[in-house]
Structures are given as C-alpha cells and as structure tokens.
Structure 1
Amino acid sequence: MSGILLEVCVDDAKGLAAAVEGGADRIELCSALAVGGLTPSAGLMALAAHTPVPVYAMVRPRPGDFVFNAAELDIMRHDIDAARAAGLAGVVLGASQANGRLDAQTLAELTRHASGLGLTLHRAFDLVPDFAEAISVAAALGFERILTSGGARTAPAAVDRLEELVDLAAGRLSIMPGSGVTVETIDQLMPRLCVIEVHSSCSVREPATDARMVEMGFAPAVARRTDAATVRAIKARLDAIPAGV
C-alpha cells in the first residue's frame, strides 16, 4: 500500500454513496460542483455524518470570487456551526483580498470559529500572487492541507509548480493536488509528486435522460456523476505506488 489518500468531492447523496462504495478515504462534501463547489445543505451534512470515512464540508456561500463581505462571513460562520452540529470531521475554507492574496484576517476569524474541526484551504490559493507567502499564512492559521492545482486550470498542467509547492510547504502542511485528476492523468502526478493525498471528483459524464427537464431549465444537458468504479481505479493506481515514494 502506498499510503496516499484519495479525497473525493461529491455534491449529492448518490455521489456520497458511490464514493464510499469505491473506497474513498475522505469526502469533500459540497453542493454545485459545476461551479467549483458550494456549501452543502444541512440535510446532506446530516446524511454524510453517517458515512464510515471522514467528511469535510465546503464552506462557500456563493459562486464567483472569494472576496466576502460581512454578511457572507456571518453566513459562513453559521455554516461552520452546521458542519460541527452534524458531526463532520472538518471544513474547507478560503477567502481572498481583491488583489488575490489570502485574506488572512477573514481566514483567522473563520478558523477560530471552526476550532476543533479539521481545516482544508481550498483553491482560492490558486489565485494568490505569492505562493510562499500564502503557504506560510495557511500554516500559521492551522490548516492541515492546501487543495491546489498549482495555479493552473488543472493539476496535471502544473506538475513542476506542484513540486515547488511541496518543497515550499516543507512538511508544515500537506499539498493536495486536485482538479483534472483522473484515471488517465494520475500517472502524470504519481509518483513524481511527494504527496500524501490527492483530490478527485472521480466522475463520469452522463447525458440527461429527460429532455423536458433540460428544456425547463431544471437539469443540464450533460452532468457529471461520481462513479464508484472510477474511485476504485484511482485508488488502485495510488496503492500500486511503492511504499516510501
């Protein structure tokens, strides 16, 4: 066994069940993965709390940028409370200044509010102008890991940068590659990157079966669905990496 963990992001009950069935080591629980993931409902958090693997809830109140106002910050505090009340293991946070730097003040408030929960810094990190500074901020605030594509659209497009980020982190926290991590691309990352975890949607494209739902705007023409077989396939690739690599 390689010991490299697989985190799977899901946004509904079926995806949650498929991730667990396929052998995911951890779940990132969201709604609206089509826009990068938003805060899941309290009901979905309650369901996820019964799964046999750790679950971290995304805390992001809307799509778009990561510059949050006071009202949105208050929403995020309540969403953190909901994750804690549900019994989830942690939360996934991020906040930016208008110039792309991490908003250390907002993140300090949120991480204090999330005391006792595990912490992942999400891909707001990929927008920062200075990765070394952002890693230091994240480490000082107690984040366990940074989910990142290395500043590119997908992680496989930024393997060199991801290697640099692992070096910059210097063991203070985990660099977790994510975005575009699939069965076809995992070998571009592993075992080249000295990481302990990776992140993937483990999804397949699925056309809508009800044209009326698409016509009425209730469903997209093509959606992505978490696939248990894909979870198993990526896990098998990770487990095939020799120990210590």
Structure 2
Amino acid sequence: MILLEVCVDTAAGLDAALAGGADRIELCSSLELGGLTPSAGLLSLARERGATARAMIRPRAGDFVFSPADAELMRADIKAAREAGIEGVVLGASRPDGTLDLDLLRHLAETSQGLKRTLHRAFDLVPDIEQAVDQAVALGFDTILTSGRAASALEGLADLEKMHRHAAGRIVVMAGAGINAHTVLRILPRVALEAVHGSCSVPAQPGSEAAARLGFVSPDRRETDRKHVAALKKALAHPAYGA
C-alpha cells in the first residue's frame, strides 16, 4: 500500500483530507508560502480528529538558511507539537550552498527525539543527492519529501529514481510537488514509491470582496478538496501498485 499524505492549513482542509481518505496529514499554515508552522489550534484539532499527523516546523517564509533566533523558535515549536500529541514533525535546514545544515539538524533531531521525522524539500537544494540521503538516514529521519530537485516530481523523475535506488529501504522517499491522480500514474511505473504527498487543492474563493480589495486575501490561497484527495487515493489503489 502506498501511503498518501495530504498537506493542510485549515480546519476545513483537515476534515476534507480525512474524508477523502488521506493516510497521513501534514499540518501547516500558509500553504501559499510553501507551508509554515501550524497553529496550536490546528494541532489540537488533528489530535481530536484522531488523525495521523506531522507538523511542519518552518518559522518563516523564504529560504531554509536559519538564524540562531529561527532555530530557537523551531525548537519551541517542536516541543509544542510533542505536547499536542501528534506523531511527528517535518524539518529541514540548509547552508547557503544548498547542503544540509547538519549542525542545526542534529540539534533539532535531539529536540524531537521520540517523534517521527520527515526531511522536507530543503532536500531539493542539495548538490549531491546520494550524500544527502545518507545524511538524512544518519540523522534519524524516516522520510524524505522531495520533488527530485525539480519544480515538480514528474520533472524530477530521474533524481527520484536515483534516490530510491540509493535509499535501498533505509528511508522512505516520498514524492511531492504537482502530485495528483493523473501525474502519479506517470511516476509510479518508473519509481516504486512507498509514499506520495499532495495538496489536493483548488483555488480558494474569497468570502469578502471588501477584504480582497484591501489586500487581506492572498490571491494564491487554495483549499483542500475532498474529491481531489479521493481521486488520488483511488489512483494509488490501482492493482499494479500493490494495494
């Protein structure tokens, strides 16, 4: 069975993902910015819903080169995720040259001991994917979320194949970026993935024209759609992929 993880940033998105059949939830805020740390309320709701969930730990938008102040906030957010009772966290940190910031990641791994850990798409900046896979394994991550260093997983197929071969069962390679019911059927024949990650979203409709006019509404905001989640789940259940 291929695990389906859906990223959400609202209570409605959480409910839509669960209703559509998501196996795991990535809890975020501001998905239009690539996903930031979720609110305490969303963490609490995920636990109340009985969701298998991991919390994004990303204190700001932009790159993944984090300052000491950023790192302090990330450690506090990891502790909050632990206290909320969810299964794990989603982490990543880079140096300016794109390599993984091993010192910071070791500190974050220590803070998150006992929680499951996904290495997020900071991985897609690395210059050497095989070295980075080995580093992720050594740091204790169980999953790498990656597009294969491309704008979408479909475009990054060659790297996804290379990563999957090199991982050799030591860590789960989870494809993300542009994953839907159609693209996944072009990826899985090439790479025997154990997990995929998608937003399964549609453009959000502003509830207030006045709010939009005054700039309070992001034009890029999207909403998780139950039908899109269900369609992707159905595609993953194709007999050719071992469901």
Scaled to the shorter chain, the TM-score interval is: over 0.9
Contact 1:61/1:72 (8 A) holds in 2: yes
Contact 1:139/1:173 (8 A) holds in 2: yes
Question: What is the RMSD computed on CA atoms of the aligned residues?
Answer: 1.3
Find the aligned partners of 1:37 and 1:182 in 2 and give their Cα distance: 18
Matched with 1:171 is: 169
Shift, 1:111, TM fit: 0.5
CA distance change for structure 1 residues 52 and 242 in 2, over 3 Å: closer, same or farther? farther
- When normalised by structure 2's length, the TM-score is 0.96
5 Å-filtered alignment, 1:130-149, equals 130-149=128-147
Can you give the 5+ residue segments of structure 2 that lack an aligned partner in the other structure?
none
Matched with 2:110 is: 112
Contact 2:174/2:194 (8 A) holds in 1: yes
Contact 2:32/2:220 (8 A) holds in 1: no
Matched with 2:71 is: 73
1:191 to 185, 189, 196: 189
Contact 1:207/1:221 (8 A) holds in 2: no
Contact 1:205/1:225 (8 A) holds in 2: yes
Shift, 1:176, TM fit: 0.2
CA distance change for structure 1 residues 103 and 222 in 2, over 3 Å: closer, same or farther? closer
Range that drifts further, 58-67 or 202-211: 202-211
Q: Give CA-to-partner distance per residue, 1:156-202, whole Å, 9 cap, x none.
A: 11112211110111111010000100123121112321111100001
Shift, 1:210, TM fit: 2.5
Matched with 1:96 is: 94
Contact 2:36/2:60 (8 A) holds in 1: yes
Q: Which letter does structure 2 place at the counterpart of 1:166? A: H
Matched with 1:34 is: 32
Contact 1:132/1:168 (8 A) holds in 2: yes
Shift, 1:222, TM fit: 5.2
Contact 1:191/1:241 (8 A) holds in 2: no
Find the aligned partners of 1:35 and 1:114 in 2 and give their Cα distance: 24
- When normalised by structure 1's length, the TM-score is 0.96
Find the aligned partners of 2:177 and 2:213 in 1 and give their Cα distance: 30
Q: How many residues align?
A: 243
Range that drifts further, 156-165 or 171-180: 156-165
Percent identical across equivalent pairs? 50
